[in-house]
Amino acid sequence: TGGSVTLVGAGPGDPELLTLAAVRALRGADVVLYDDLVSPDVLAFARREARTMLVGKTGHRPSCRQEDINVLMIGLARQGKRVVRLKSGDPGVFGRGGEEIAAAHEAGIPVAIVPGVTAAQGAAARLGVSLTERGVARRVQYVTGHDRDGALPEDLNGAALADPGVTTAVYMPRRTVPALVARALAAGLPAATPAVAIVDATRPGERRVITTVGDLKDAIATLPAGPCLVLIGDVLRAARSGVRAPAAD
Amino acid sequence: TGGSVTLVGAGPGDPELLTLAAVRALRGADVVLYDDLVSPDVLAFARREARTMLVGKTGHRPSCRQEDINVLMIGLARQGKRVVRLKSGDPGVFGRGGEEIAAAHEAGIPVAIVPGVTAAQGAAARLGVSLTERGVARRVQYVTGHDRDGALPEDLNGAALADPGVTTAVYMPRRTVPALVARALAAGLPAATPAVAIVDATRPGERRVITTVGDLKDAIATLPAGPCLVLIGDVLRAARSGVRAPAAD
């Protein structure tokens, strides 16, 4: 039978936040190409006989170039393999999924996407907050902390960041948070706006600091290394530490 | 044992997009309070002996008032029941989760949240597009099509909508899409910007129309009744119809 490529969202970290479709795709895969942010507990859903290959790509560590990942993925699918490209969070939210989908289309390889819970939604759930709230936030936005060159995107919309009716999630902001905060404050966001920085959201080692936009730069520096997310907005006034789903038994 | 409340995201519709945690919570529930947009296939994960109660709340049909849902939910938990409040998509994205969390906290009832795949991410996956894309969209935003009074929120940020580097998902926009389009165009969004309107995203009856912002109002009128979502932005140039995950067998 013919090979295929399935982009699968691994969710924010906790393997319980995988979808049934993700588990099914992992169990059916001949090869799993995974990012360095994917939990080992998630990878454990693959069959023992499946090949699993770390291709990196997230974080700031040296990793395979995107073009090399595409060549590998397409080459394996052409050999008739069912290839799962496993990405942290949702493949459609800062996952560079579009480039891999385009490569598969160009090669005439069937491609499908299994969406996942993105880090912002996982982190909010653990904080016990809703990202939107009547009368508080009628818009939620996810922005990337860095552009192609690792800097804050030049044209990241300052007015969109400073809007009092928005909740903002900044993905992988460590290096660029000072620039982002400066831009938001210059555009009128009050320095007292609540903010939370989270490392390893939904994982056993999750660490967070509940702060304000004005103190965010110093607060984030107190967190250990690891995948980081920042949430900003008035909905975070209700943030509580360590809300976990009760065991169902 | 004591009662509890768990807000559970049912995902966008396809039961395969439930998380493992959601399935576990449903299987452990004594009572499931569900919205009218939740698929019967999702509800089927509850135990046979669990009570399931439609409390409405999404869409424009008459439904329980939020205060009545809170009273019911807290009352059942006080009787020692494990209550699952099952919401379409993610409880933290236009799900009014915050009000229910606050009610549980006030009553001293343990409350937890199981995040879910939201409609925008489910719809994008089925269209074969990524919501973000290097060099195209470095920001993605979800906005609500209606405020407390059913109208487009007065202060919905026009500049944030018109930004060429954003992908926008509008939740439940049928009544307000003309006003939203007018505001975005007035703020400078080109009328030729790609847009897709989707009804019943990820469900067997999914219907979509691939159009532009300028033609969105007419296009949306051609869709059947049902929960509707609009996606706007240049990433949608790559939209294809009916991309489905392959069976894993």
Contact list in B for residue A160 (CB cut-off 8 A) is 139, 141, 157, 159-160, 163, 166
Residue B165 burial (CB count, 10 A): 20
Please report the sign of the dihedral spanned by the C-alpha atoms of residue B86, residue B87, residue B91, residue B95: negative
Query: Which of A66, A88, A90 to probe the B interface (max B CBs under 10 A)?
Result: A90
What is the ipTM metric for this complex? 0.93
Residues A98/B159/B198/A91 CA torsion (nearest 10 deg): 30
A190 within 8 A of A212, measured Cβ to Cβ: no
At A168-227, the pLDDT tens digits run 999 988 888 888 899 999 999 999 999 999 999 999 999 999 999 999 999 999 999 988
Identity at A182, one-letter amino acid code: A
Q: Tell me how far the alpha carbon of residue A69 is from its chain's centroid.
A: 19
Q: Is some CB atom of chain A closer than 8 A to the CB atom of B25?
A: yes
Q: Return the active site residues of B.
A: 35, 57
Interatomic CA distance for residues B92 and A129, integer angstroms:
7
- Could you give the percent of chain B with pLDDT greater than 70? 90
Interatomic CA distance for residues B103 and B75, integer angstroms:
11
Interatomic CA distance for residues A218 and A129, integer angstroms:
23
What does the mean pLDDT of chain B come to? 90
Q: Which of B7, B10, B11, B1 is nearest to B105 (CA)?
A: B7
Q: In the prediction, which pLDDT does B231 show?
A: 97
pLDDT band of B83, cuts 50, 70, 90: very high
At B138-195, the pLDDT tens digits run 899 999 867 666 677 777 778 889 998 999 999 988 888 888 899 999 999 999 999 9
Interatomic CA distance for residues A236 and A247, integer angstroms:
26
CB spacing of A148 vs B135 below 8 angstroms: yes
> What is the mean predicted confidence (pLDDT) over B79-107?
94
Give the domains, in start order, of chain A with CATH numbers. Answer: 4-114 (3.40.1010.10), 119-238 (3.30.950.10)
At A130-148, the pLDDT tens digits run 999 988 888 999 998 676 6
Interatomic CA distance for residues A171 and A119, integer angstroms:
8
Token pair recorded at residue A221: 């520096």
Q: Tell me how far the alpha carbon of residue B50 is from its chain's centroid.
A: 25
What does the mean pLDDT of chain A come to? 90
Token pair recorded at residue A169: 């999630």
Interatomic CA distance for residues A171 and B28, integer angstroms:
34
CB spacing of A141 vs B142 below 8 angstroms: yes
Interatomic CA distance for residues B104 and A243, integer angstroms:
13
Q: In the prediction, which pLDDT does A149 show?
A: 67
Q: In the prediction, which pLDDT does A138 show?
A: 87
Q: In the prediction, which pLDDT does B243 show?
A: 52
Q: Tell me how far the alpha carbon of residue A94 is from its chain's centroid.
A: 7
Q: Which of residues 144-183 of A touch B (CB under 8 A)?
A: 144, 147-148, 153, 155-157, 159-160, 163, 165-166
